[in-house]
Structure 1
Amino acid sequence: MSDFRHKGIYILPNLFTTASLLAGFMGLMWAVQGRFELCASAILVSCLCDGLDGKLARMTKASSEFGIQLDSLVDLVAFGVTPAAMIYLWQTQHLGRTGLLVSFAYLACGALRLARFNVSAMRSPGGGKKFFVGLPIPAAACLLATLVLFAARLPEGALQAVLPGWCVGLTLASGLLMVSKVRYASFKDLEAVKAHPYTMSVAVVLLFVLMASEPRMLGFFFFLAYLFSGLAYTYAVLPLRRGTFLRGLTSR
């Protein structure tokens, strides 16, 4: 019985990983059919399943090399192939070869990002780091997915004039940031939550209320803010901290 329970603990995270793959596959089918809002929603569902399988693996200490490789393959489909196809079929195909190359560049950068993450995970397994190096591919996929949902709120004239440029810019930017060395918060460190449980609880409730009030609009701006947060931290906050540290050393 104990052996069965032990195996069940390892199977449970992989079930959520498989659910993420199913959502990504359904999203790809909907993108081909031109049902882009359904495709965007499927990407968000896949991201939720991806977050749950990682959380379960850490809680039950059931992470394994097999799980890491499976999760990486699923992520490439759900957050690489599906968003790239969605953006191409939705907007960038109108730009011809340029649009195709932009979508492929996103997919290629996502594959490189996942390969680099796998190498670092094998070198330091289970390392609960505070920051990711490079934009995580689920965040990049969710940015593009929420862009599709946000676009439904734009006036028809603005839709045709603004969206092609936005799609090219955001797709390229998210792809390049995935393979960059820009640091992004991982939200795996719970020290802030333990230190200020009441404040963090209120913040989470307020964020949930805001997201529920305007999910299409605020979802896009949330992921856009996350994209810029890494740039701000890496190129504004970190240099200031290093400068303060060096000044402290020279004053001794």
Structure 2
Amino acid sequence: MNRPNQPICKGVYLLPNLFTTASLFSGFLGIIWAIEGLFVHCALAILVSCVLDGLDGMVARLTRSSSDFGVQLDSLADLVAFGVTPAIMVYMWQLQNYGRLGLLASFLIVACGALRLARFNVQCGKVSQKYFIGLPIPAAACVLATLVLFSTQSPAFLEGTYGMITLVLVYVLSFLMVSRVRYPSLKEFDGIRTYPFRTTVVAMLIFVVIASEPKIIGFLFFLAYLLSGLILSFLILPYRKVRLLGESHQELP
């Protein structure tokens, strides 16, 4: 029994926060490697942070050890690993050649990423978890990380275009993070719960395809997710609304 006037210590759940700290550390290593010019190492560090970021949430849900402290720590770690690290990486890799325009683009990743995380924390539990509102910051970071990896095995005619590609892509990613474009959330995807075996098979096939040519297919995979939000928001969801309205009118006497 707690004594009167004794503060109740909620405690800090260790296991999921260890994964969050590991993700933060991987992002920190990525910053160091980007400054040293080891851009492939930095890109891999971002991808490792993404895996660890997914594991900390999974462990927290499985062990029922979610806490407000963990949510805030996760957001701070995400801002470093998926905001600061890719911003420094793309600036040192390509954008420094564009002067102030490149510097502004790099800063936008951090600023829009911070706004995206703040909005997510405010809306958490208040909106549907089936879709993300705005491009998730880990996905934006993974697009840039896989672009760096893709550049090491890309066709020769693309060699001189990566500066402009990176500049345009950074502005697009920054806009999508703070937009109202909806992206599918795999955490609450109904198919995972309804068809767990079928979903597992599909996940294995995706893994095999990516593993065959990870630098190329990995970039195409995250690029496809980037486009999926636009298709979902401007084609699929409006069509569903029109169809539901049509069915409701038909049911009226």
TM-score (norm 1): 0.92
Counterpart in the other structure of 1:200: 199
1:83 maps to a residue whose letter is P
Q: Which has the higher Rg, Structure 1 or Structure 2?
A: 2
Show CA shifts across 1:52-74 (max 9, x none): 00111111111111111111111
TM-aligned CA deviation for residue 199 of structure 1: 2.4
Q: What number of residue pairs does the alignment pair up? A: 242
Q: 1:107 aligns with which of 105, 110, 116?
A: 110
- Bigger shift: 195-204 or 19-28? 195-204
Counterpart in the other structure of 1:212: 211
How many angstroms apart in 2 are the aligned matches of 1:74 and 1:128? 24
How many angstroms apart in 1 are the aligned matches of 2:97 and 2:157? 17
**Match status 1:85 vs 2:84:** no
2:202 maps to a residue whose letter is A
How many angstroms apart in 2 are the aligned matches of 1:228 and 1:128? 21
1:230–1:190 Cα change, 3 Å: closer
Q: How does 1:153-232 map to 2 (within 5 A)?
A: 153-156=153-156, 158-160=158-160, 162-189=161-188, 191-232=190-231
SS of alignment partner, residue 135 of structure 2 = coil
Runs of 4+ deviating beyond 6 Å:
none
How many angstroms apart in 1 are the aligned matches of 2:82 and 2:129? 22
- In the alignment, structure 1 segments of 5+ residues that lack a partner are 1-5
Counterpart in the other structure of 2:17: 14
Whether contact under 8 Å (1:30, 1:39) holds in the other structure is yes
TM-aligned CA deviation for residue 193 of structure 1: 2.6
**Match status 1:45 vs 2:48:** yes
Counterpart in the other structure of 1:235: 234
Whether contact under 8 Å (2:23, 2:77) holds in the other structure is yes
How many angstroms apart in 2 are the aligned matches of 1:128 and 1:13? 24
How many angstroms apart in 2 are the aligned matches of 1:134 and 1:237? 16
SS of alignment partner, residue 64 of structure 2 = coil
Percent identity of equivalent pairs: 54
How many angstroms apart in 2 are the aligned matches of 1:190 and 1:131? 9
- In the alignment, structure 2 segments of 5+ residues that lack a partner are 1-9
RMSD, aligned α-carbons: 1.6
Whether contact under 8 Å (2:26, 2:48) holds in the other structure is yes
TM-aligned CA deviation for residue 198 of structure 1: 3.4
How many angstroms apart in 1 are the aligned matches of 2:222 and 2:128? 22
TM-aligned CA deviation for residue 21 of structure 1: 0.4
Q: How does 1:137-152 map to 2 (within 5 A)?
A: 137-152=137-152
Counterpart in the other structure of 2:6: none
1:42–1:113 Cα change, 3 Å: same
- Bigger shift: 45-54 or 188-197? 188-197
How many angstroms apart in 2 are the aligned matches of 1:239 and 1:94? 41
Counterpart in the other structure of 2:62: 59
Counterpart in the other structure of 1:95: 98
Counterpart in the other structure of 2:71: 68
How many angstroms apart in 1 are the aligned matches of 2:145 and 2:203? 22
